């Protein structure tokens, strides 16, 4: 019985999407039109090992299709730049340079955000099952990892937005730690 209903849910899922008259393709197509973006963010991380949540804020820069920059200004300046699969993390005088391909979990995680911003459905569906809820006015795109290795790290990524603007990203890790980032558009060059 349970299997049957699961199958039914799977079959119905796209139908529901279509029924709303607005689907993932349209959402991603809209997002893909944005070639570059600049936004502010406020992020809160809940980590079990730490006694209290970590709050940070800063700015986001995005240039289609694969340049993503996160500049944290508070509490401590640091930056993360993803460019062509190389992840550079600058913290004070320290610079960490990582090749995303060496860390499949990290690559999948970063690609979820990059892929959404770039409207790259193929890249997203390589690693995630996509679920879209809501309307064009107020949507939530949920990414559920397909690969077991990734599922061991990331449980769920939930991206919410208004029309073709991303408003929040919520990441729930497998061990229960989570982060919630609110994004506020600054300027559109």
Partner 1 sequence: MKPAPTRRGLTALARTSIVLWLAFILACGVVISRSRVTTDLSAFLPRSPTPAQQLLLEQIRDGLASRLILVGIEGADAPTRARLSKQIARRLRAEPAFVSVNNGEPVGVERDRAFLFDHRYLLSPAVTPARFSVDGLHAALRDSIDLLASPAGLLVKSLLPRDPTGEMVQLLDRLDSSARPQMIDGAWASRDGARALMLIQTRASGSDTDAQQQAMAAIRQAFDAAPGASAAAKLVMTGPGVFSVTSRETIEAQVSRLSIVSVALIAALLLMVYRSFSALALGFLPVISGALAGIAAVSLCFGVVHGITLGFGTALIGEAVDYSIYLFVQSEQGGRDQQRWVKRFWPTVRLGVLTSICGFASLLLSGFPGLAQLGLYSIAGLIAAATVTRYVLPHLLPPDFRIHDVSAIGLVLSRLVQRAAALRWAAAVLLLAACTILVLHRADLWDDKISSLSPVAQADVALDTSLRADTGAPDVRYLVVVSGASRESVLSSSEHVSAVLQAQVDRGELDGFESPSRYLPSAATQHARQSSLPSPGILEARLAQAVQGLPVRAQLFAPFLADVAAARSQPLLQAADLERTSMAMAVDALLLRQGDHWSALLPLTAPKGASINAGRIRAALSATGLPDVLFVDMKAESDQLYSGYLHEAILLSLGGLIAIIALLLLVLRSPMRVVRIIAPLAAAVITVTAGLTVFGQQLIILHLVGLLLVVAVGSNYALFFDRADHPPMAEPGATARSISPRTLASMLFANLTTVAGFGLLSFSNLSILQAMGVTVAPGVILALIYSAIFAGQADA
Residue 137 binding partner 1, by CB under 8 A: no
Residue 123 binding partner 1, by CB under 8 A: no
Coil, helix or strand at residue 153: coil
Window contacting partner 1 (CB under 8 A); options: 2-10, 25-33, 81-89, 158-166: 81-89
Residue 74 binding partner 1, by CB under 8 A: no
Q: Concatenated DSSP letters for 31-55?
A: HHT--EEEEEEEEEEE-TTSSS-EE
Would you state the torsion angle of the CA atoms of residues 169, 173, 176, 177, taken in this order, to the nearest 10 degrees?
Answer: -60
- Identify the residue whose tokens are 């062509």: 84
Residues in the interface with partner 1 (CB under 8 A) total 38
Q: Given phi > 0 = left and psi -120 to 50 = alpha, else beta, which region is 10?
A: alpha
Residues 6+ apart with CB under 8 A from 117: 31, 34, 37, 62, 64, 68, 166
Q: Shortest gap between Cβ of 119 and partner 1 (angstroms)?
A: 19
> What is d(CA 91, CA 43) in angstroms, rounded to the nearest whole number?
17
Residue number with CB closer to partner 1 (28 or 113): 113
Q: Any idea how long the chain is?
A: 189
Window contacting partner 1 (CB under 8 A); options: 28-36, 95-103, 128-136, 139-147: 95-103
Among 15, 18, 102, 189, binds partner 1 (CB under 8 A): 102
Among 101, 163, 176, 188, binds partner 1 (CB under 8 A): 101
Q: Shortest gap between Cβ of 102 and partner 1 (angstroms)?
A: 6
Q: Which of residues 21-60 bind partner 1 (CB under 8 A)?
A: 45, 47, 49-52, 54, 56
Are 181 and 160 in contact by the 8 Å Cβ rule? The answer is: no
The residues that touch partner 1, with contacts defined as CB under 8 A, are 45, 47, 49-52, 54, 56, 70, 72, 76, 78, 80, 84-87, 89, 91, 94-99, 101-106, 109-110, 153-154, 173, 175, 177
């Amino acid at each position: 019985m349970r299997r049957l209903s699961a199958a039914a849910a799977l079959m119905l899922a796209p139908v529901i999407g279509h029924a709303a008259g607005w689907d993932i393709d349209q959402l991603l197509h809209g997002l893909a039109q944005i070639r570059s973006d600049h936004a502010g963010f406020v992020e809160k991380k809940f980590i079990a090992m730490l006694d209290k949540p970590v709050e940070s804020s800063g700015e986001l820069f995005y240039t289609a299709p694969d340049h993503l920059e996160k500049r944290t200004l508070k509490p401590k300046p640091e930056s993360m730049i993803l460019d062509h699969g190389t992840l550079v993390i600058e913290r004070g005088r320290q610079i960490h340079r990582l090749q995303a391909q060496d860390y499949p979990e990290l690559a999948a995680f970063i690609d979820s955000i990059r892929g959404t911003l770039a409207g790259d459905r193929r890249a997203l569906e390589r690693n995630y099952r996509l679920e879209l809820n809501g309307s064009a006015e107020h949507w939530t795109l949920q990414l559920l990892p397909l690969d077991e290795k990734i599922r061991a790290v990331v449980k769920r990524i939930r991206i919410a937005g208004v029309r073709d603007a991303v408003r929040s990203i919520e990441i729930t890790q497998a061990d229960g730690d989570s982060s919630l980032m609110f994004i506020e558009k600054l300027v559109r060059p």
